[in-house]
A = this chain, B = another copy of it.
Amino acid sequence: MTDPIRPTDDEARAMARALLDDARFGALGVLDGGVPMVSRIAVGTDAGGGPVTLVSSLSAHTGALRAEPVCSLMVGEPGPKGDPLTHPRLSLHCAARFVERQSEAHAALRARWLESHPKAKLYIDFGDFGFVAMEVQGAFLNGGFGKAFRLTPQDLGLADRPRTE
């Protein structure tokens, strides 16, 4: 049996980076009492290119992330045509970090988010909404059948991001 993982090259790095940059939503996997739970979340990036989401504290995934920050985020949505399993997608292994609402980081994320998600102006300032930064620890790129790659944060250009808690 051959190893289905190919050596990472610049084409794979660029595809992964584009999938993350272009994502407006994605599938989040969290631990809910030790059991996986997948839900849809909005996805954007911070100024350093790291994935960010805007979530409500009323959502089940928000409570799960507060209890257990380890999570998985898949981005790369198929279009309406073709075999969806040949469409590239990127699964990120992440640790969630909640952003304080009164912080400068929040203000910067808010301005950036409204550029990529203009409809969020309807609820972005609701008291139960807040940003969660996803600190990427590794990634798996599936570029279609037979095109799988394991990527590091560095491969996504995230090498120099500060890790703050």
Chain A residues with a Cβ under 8 A of chain B: 1, 4, 24-25, 27-31, 35-42, 58-60, 70-74, 77-80, 83-85, 89, 91, 93, 119, 123, 128, 140, 142, 145
Contacts and interface: CB of A to CB of B under 8 A. Distances in A.
A78 B80 contact: no
Tell me the dominant secondary structure on chain A's binding face.
strand
4 nearest interchain CB pairs?
A: A27-B27, A29-B29, A29-B36, A29-B38
A85 B25 contact: yes
Stoichiometry, copies per complex:
2
A79 to B, nearest CB: 7
A25 B79 CA distance: 12
Given A29-B36, A77-B77, 9 more contacts: A24-B84, A27-B38, A27-B74, A35-B72, A36-B72, A38-B38, A39-B74, A60-B140, A123-B145
